[in-house]
């Protein structure tokens, strides 16, 4: 788990090569892929998903699956607080994950249970790079829709 959460790609690769259980969860119900997703380690996420890690497993508390973080399926599904994978990416300043989510169509206008949007969350956290990324993406979609 810690190799995945700390981003130690070579150690994860070595553990997988010797047959480590890539679906085993810790006491909180978090799997290696969930830890890698939560810390923004996209190379480890890809490695685990490519080998067959279960991206539908959920933690014990929040009904939050790696899928929600890794953006492999219902990328607009929200947890009990109304937080989407895009919001978690914005909150944790995981720029590459935010980019991937936006590229596959994540809803950047969707608000959580308190009315906060992804851009508002990124702004409040001081993540100006993510605010710019969302703004660029929304402008790109506006140009495309005007061309249609």
pLDDT in tens, 39-93: 878 889 889 888 988 766 655 555 555 555 554 456 677 777 888 888 988 988 8
Q: Round to whole Å and give the CA distance between 36 and 3.
A: 9
The residue among 74, 37, 76 whose CA lies nearest residue 53 is 37
Choice between 58 and 128, residue whose per-residue pLDDT is larger: 128
Domains for the chain: give ranges and CATH numbers: 1-72 (1.25.40.20), 74-148 (1.25.40.20)
Residue partners of 121: CB distance under 8 A and separation at least 6 = 87, 90, 91, 112
Q: Round to whole Å and give the CA distance between 85 and 129.
A: 18
Q: Round to whole Å and give the CA distance between 21 and 54.
A: 11
Taken in order 124, 29, 43, 86, the sign of the CA dihedral is negative
Entry pTM: 0.52
Q: Round to whole Å and give the CA distance between 112 and 118.
A: 9
| Mean pLDDT to the nearest integer, 25-49 | 83
């Amino acid at each position: 788990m810690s190799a995945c959460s700390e981003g130690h790609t070579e150690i994860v690769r070595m553990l997988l090569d010797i047959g480590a259980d890539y679906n085993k969860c810790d006491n909180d119900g978090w799997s290696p892929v969930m830890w890698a997703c939560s810390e923004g380690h996209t190379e480890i996420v890809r490695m685990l998903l490519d080998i067959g890690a279960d991206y539908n497993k959920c933690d014990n508390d929040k009904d939050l699956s790696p899928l929600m973080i890794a953006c492999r399926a219902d990328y607009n599904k929200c947890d009990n607080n109304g937080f989407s994978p895009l919001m978690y990416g914005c909150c944790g300043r995981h720029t590459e994950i935010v980019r991937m989510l936006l590229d596959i169509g994540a809803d950047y206008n969707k608000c959580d249970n308190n009315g906060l949007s992804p851009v508002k969350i990124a702004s409040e956290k001081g993540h100006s790079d993510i605010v710019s990324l969302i703004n660029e993406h929304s402008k790109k979609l506006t140009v495309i829709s005007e061309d249609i």
